Amino acid sequence: MSAQDKLAALEALTKPITKQAIKQARIHGSTKKIEGSNENYLSGIVGGFHDDMMEDTVIAPPQPTPGMFYGIVGELAMIAATGTETNPVAAATAYLSFLGANVGRDTFLLINNTYHHPRLFTLHIGRSGRGGKGDSQQLTQRIRERIERRDSSLLGLKYSGGLSSREGLAMLAHDGHGESPAIIDKRLWIVESEFANVLSQAKREGNTLSSALRDAWDGGDIKPATKSKPVGVTSPHIGIHGNITPGELNSLLNAREMSNGFANRFLMIWAENTGFVPFPTPTPERLIDELATSTMDVIHFAKGGYPNSKNGLEMNLSQATKALYTEVYQELRRPLESDFITAMLERRAPYALRLAMLFALTDQTRVIEACHLQTALEWINYAINTVKFVFADKANNTQQAETRQNAAKIIAFLQLRPEGSGMRELINDCFQKNGSSEKINGALSYLLAENPRRIEQIEVKKSHAGRPKKIYTLKNSTDKLINSTGRAALRFNGVLYTTDKLRTNSKRKHQNVICPYFVRNLSVTKKTDETQQRRGLQNLSVLSVPVLEKSPPRPKKTSAKKGTI
């Protein structure tokens, strides 16, 4: 950061200072006294004003990586971008959505007891006139038309007329309605060029479109909302590709869509035109034919016996892929910068698997290799950066950032105290009495809500009346506080003492006890043996030791001879 930038930033943060104050000013980081003119004073300030004192919160748009463009998906993306303004990421996104919608429900990946099929809900985000949202779909549309002319049975239905209600969605692949027979092939690719309309409809009172789309992503049945409108769909296979501007998305996405999981079922991709090409070059027919042939081979392989057969062709992860997924799984599940961003990206893990399934199918294999998962992770990373960029104001939550910093400080402190610490120790020692209990409580709540947890809370009951003391320890600490009998204990010279036996006089402290685990060189006299023993112990942390069923008796007073314990 230049000196001029530092001055500008500082002037915005400081108040006018009198000449007398200037003469006496001392700047943190500088050892000399600043005297004289304002220019000298400000120069001194710049000297003590470090780059790390100004946090850069600007978030740049996501940038694609070569690893995203794998196999036929990469070929199509490059062809779409050649001689045009089309963003290759946007073209690949539309194609992945189309491909996933036409695979069907015969090919599956079983995770726990859930059947995952490679259908996607994708959302192309870009500014109006710059996103090239319509142009990015044209190559996929030409490929689809070519396949339809050759063998229409390979394709499911396509709909682009707009969604407004649960019933309207159900009618597109219904089980039979009135005199209309049931639609057997439930594959459906929906292209919603104005996805803002979907969000607007979802906000209407009584509209159940949002819940129907959630069911569709999960692969569940879309059941009739009312008995008067008995239109439903059994086992649909629906993929959606939507287009929206960042302004519309920010203004129309409300708290309900965030809390009910509607928003995070969409893979959000930011993409805008890559340049200015007044006369774009049409894709040659030869390339359209080649891409259509390759796409037909993939769909034929993945479709299996659908719609006559469902869940008959299982996909599996190779050993290398399992190892890679195990390595990245915690990262896919961990909380991100803010609660909002975390909620928007809650389904990173299942999306990584669905994308990996698709990339494996493009190789016409049912074994998901590490390269397929690695490509999927590149897309997940791009989607993460998209959400952070589009919702930058929500990503830079100052209060939540402070909470995470305080949480990191507590973790570092507990690593030095595996036996645990209470609130008083956290305030006095960890935060040096500079942190409010409210902020510390917020950081502790944040840590306790983590999945998996890094800390745990243990209540230490005492024999006397009063609330139990709460101790915080690292969850995987080898030296944990043990409270098996309801009383914490400490080993002192081979004897276990419960905490109620070790209450001390807080007005005086023994200064020679420096080791948090053992007591060394603690002398006692005839009159002060037990008292000094207690005072010496009052600053000790509770040691992790087994607790006896009964507390040992208080040590008897020693003789007048000096000794050590």
For the chain (565 residues), the mean pLDDT of every run of 10, in chain order, is 52 43 42 46 43 59 95 97 96 98 97 94 93 90 97 95 90 87 95 93 82 94 76 94 94 77 95 92 96 98 96 97 96 88 94 98 98 98 95 71 84 88 88 82 83 82 74 68 37 36 39 33 36 40 36 48 44
- What integer pLDDT is reported at residue 105 of this predicted model? 97
- What the block records as the tokens of 417 is 């105290």
Please indicate, yes or no, whether residues 499 and 476 belong to a single structural domain of this protein.
Answer: no
Query: End of a domain among 481, 509, 538?
Result: 481
What is d(CA 164, CA 30) in angstroms, rounded to the nearest whole number? 65
For residues 480 and 418, the answer to whether their CB atoms sit within 8 Å is: yes
For residues 97 and 294, the answer to whether their CB atoms sit within 8 Å is: no
The conformation of residue 9, written as its DSSP 8-state character, comes to H
Q: What range does the domain containing 15 cover?
A: 3-53
Residue 60 included in any domain? no
- Rg over CA atoms, the chain: 32
- What integer pLDDT is reported at residue 179 of this predicted model? 81
- What integer pLDDT is reported at residue 451 of this predicted model? 65
Helix ranges (DSSP H) in 104-194 = 135-150, 166-171
- What integer pLDDT is reported at residue 27 of this predicted model? 40
Taking Cα atoms as reference points, which of 543, 430, 537 lies closest to residue 480? 543
- What integer pLDDT is reported at residue 132 of this predicted model? 84
Please indicate, yes or no, whether residues 379 and 494 belong to a single structural domain of this protein.
Answer: no
CA angle 333, 71, 366 (to 5 degrees): 65
Residue 82 included in any domain? yes
Please indicate, yes or no, whether residues 255 and 306 belong to a single structural domain of this protein.
Answer: yes
- Helix, strand, coil % over all residues of the chain, rounded to 5: 45, 15, 45
Please indicate, yes or no, whether residues 207 and 322 belong to a single structural domain of this protein.
Answer: yes
Element (H, E) at 42: helix 38-48
- What integer pLDDT is reported at residue 482 of this predicted model? 38
Q: How many CA atoms lie within 13 A of 481 on its CB side?
A: 28
- What integer pLDDT is reported at residue 56 of this predicted model? 56
Please indicate, yes or no, whether residues 384 and 453 belong to a single structural domain of this protein.
Answer: no
What is d(CA 556, CA 84) in angstroms, rounded to the nearest whole number? 92
- What integer pLDDT is reported at residue 187 of this predicted model? 97
For residues 349 and 376, the answer to whether their CB atoms sit within 8 Å is: no
- What integer pLDDT is reported at residue 395 of this predicted model? 63
State the sign of the Cα–Cα–Cα–Cα dihedral 335, 339, 344, 350: positive
Taking Cα atoms as reference points, which of 410, 511, 398, 509 lies closest to residue 454? 410
Please indicate, yes or no, whether residues 72 and 172 belong to a single structural domain of this protein.
Answer: yes
- What integer pLDDT is reported at residue 543 of this predicted model? 34
The number of folded domains in the chain is 4
CA-based max dimension of the chain: 107
Please indicate, yes or no, whether residues 289 and 341 belong to a single structural domain of this protein.
Answer: yes
Residue 334 included in any domain? yes
- What integer pLDDT is reported at residue 453 of this predicted model? 79
Taking Cα atoms as reference points, which of 304, 291, 311, 300 lies closest to residue 154? 300
Please indicate, yes or no, whether residues 130 and 257 belong to a single structural domain of this protein.
Answer: yes
Given the structure tokens 């409010």, which residue do they identify?
436
Q: Terminus-to-terminus CA distance in the chain, angstroms?
A: 59
- What the block records as the tokens of 400 is 């939540």
Query: Beta strand pairing status for 367-368 and 237-244?
Result: unpaired
Query: End of a domain among 394, 428, 458?
Result: 394
Residue 500 included in any domain? yes
Query: End of a domain among 374, 394, 414?
Result: 394
What is d(CA 240, CA 259) in angstroms, rounded to the nearest whole number? 21
Residue 534 included in any domain? yes
Please indicate, yes or no, whether residues 317 and 442 belong to a single structural domain of this protein.
Answer: no
Please indicate, yes or no, whether residues 365 and 401 belong to a single structural domain of this protein.
Answer: no
Please indicate, yes or no, whether residues 390 and 402 belong to a single structural domain of this protein.
Answer: no
Residue 351 included in any domain? yes
What is d(CA 411, CA 477) in angstroms, rounded to the nearest whole number? 12
Q: Is 391 exposed, middle or buried (0-12, 13-18, 19+ CB in 10 A)?
A: buried
Please indicate, yes or no, whether residues 413 and 372 belong to a single structural domain of this protein.
Answer: no
What is d(CA 438, CA 504) in angstroms, rounded to the nearest whole number? 28
The conformation of residue 37, written as its DSSP 8-state character, comes to S
Residue 59 included in any domain? no
Residue 61 included in any domain? no
